[in-house]
Amino acid sequence: MLYNPTGNCYNAQRISESLNANTKIRSTTLKKLFAIALTLAFCAATYAGLDDPGLSIYYSFDDVKNDVVKDGSKYKNDGEIVGGAKFNDGKVGKAIELKQGVWIKINGPEFKNLPKDGFTLATWVNHEDSAQPQSLFDAIGDKHGDGLFHVEIRPAGFRFFHRNDDQAQVFNINPGPIIKGKKWHHFVGTYDGKTGEVAIYVDGKRTHEAKGAKAKLATNWKVTAGIGHHKNGRWYMGLLDEFFLFSRAISKEEVKEIMNDDFLAVKSLDKLSVTWGEIKEGR
């Protein structure tokens, strides 16, 4: 027994139990508050994947004002709609509808985070079948007049090609997979400059691969860059949605994350998972 100055006695065991209970309550409360804070942080950081330093362009086509397609990446490489595009239901929100005379102009001379050591283009396509090639992306510099990139849907098979500023071929898959029109398909093309590996994925599956040169990519886009045509030809006819362009080769796991609309959220979850695990373990 313990006695206070007035002579009243205290039960030491009860005092200890009370102190332990209060400590547990405070600890539990703090954990709950921290969990709430993490939840709020997750809500605010849902698009933390957009801070990926290798992501040069992300066009959702849900943020378009005055014919300007807003780029969700940190580099703000906005696109300008030429010819007046329409919008329709897409795979995620709205999709842009391109046709002959309608394309997206990208500011090549002032493009930020130009691909140098790697390249990835990923997008949903829902095109009209055509006997003509349909260009998804190209850029042109002032060192020679040829297109630098040829990312094209073709009747005989997809073309995924790049020539550098010296007019030398760096990578080429041609013919690649045949992608039928009037239905949504997810296309990804990747190139890793360190290994020379080139690959094409359709609907999450790796369909074609090749060995390209281990070389630097063209960085002179001083004439133009754009989505939907090549030199006023090879017009893309149909819908496009969720357009990503990276300055690196993404992994096969990231290919599926992008296709499943998980890429942006997964990047945030990765940042929070360690802290959340520590909360659950009581650390």
Is the model's pLDDT at 87 over the cut of 80? yes
Q: List the structure tokens of 253.
A: 């796991």
Among 41-45, 52-56, 94-98, 105-109, the least confident range: 41-45
* Buried-state track 114-135, b at ≥16 Cβ within 10 A, e below 16: bbebbbbbbbbbbbeebeebbb
Q: What is the mean pLDDT of the chain?
A: 85
Q: List the structure tokens of 152.
A: 């094209």
Which pLDDT does position 214 carry in this prediction?
96
Q: What percent of the chain has pLDDT over 90?
A: 74
First to last CA, the chain: 35
Phi, psi of 112 (to 5 degrees): -100, 140
Is the model's pLDDT at 235 over the cut of 60? yes
| 166-198: pLDDT as tens digits | 999 999 999 999 999 999 999 999 999 999 999
Which pLDDT does position 264 carry in this prediction?
80
Which pLDDT does position 20 carry in this prediction?
55
CA separation, residue 233 to residues 99, 136, 251, 260 (Å):
11, 12, 32, 32
- Surface-to-core class of residue 47, CB atoms within 10 Å of its CB (0-12 exposed, 13-18 middle, 19+ buried): middle
Architecture of domain 49-263: Sandwich (2.60)
Q: Is the peptide bond before 175 cis (omega within 30 degrees of 0)?
A: yes
pLDDT band at residue 25, thresholds of 50, 70 and 90? very low
Among 41-50, 94-103, 245-254, the least confident range: 41-50
| 135-163: pLDDT as tens digits | 999 999 999 989 999 999 999 999 999 99
| Nearest alpha carbon to residue 93 among 226, 240, 267, 201 | 240
pTM: 0.78
Domain ranges of the chain: 2-44, 49-263
Which pLDDT does position 281 carry in this prediction?
46
Which pLDDT does position 206 carry in this prediction?
98
Three-state secondary structure of 95-143: EEEEECCEEEEECCCCCCCCCCCEEEEEEEEEECCCCCCEEEEEEECCC
Amino acid at 187: F
Which pLDDT does position 47 carry in this prediction?
47
Which pLDDT does position 50 carry in this prediction?
84
Residues 160 and 153: their CA atoms lie apart, in Å, by 9
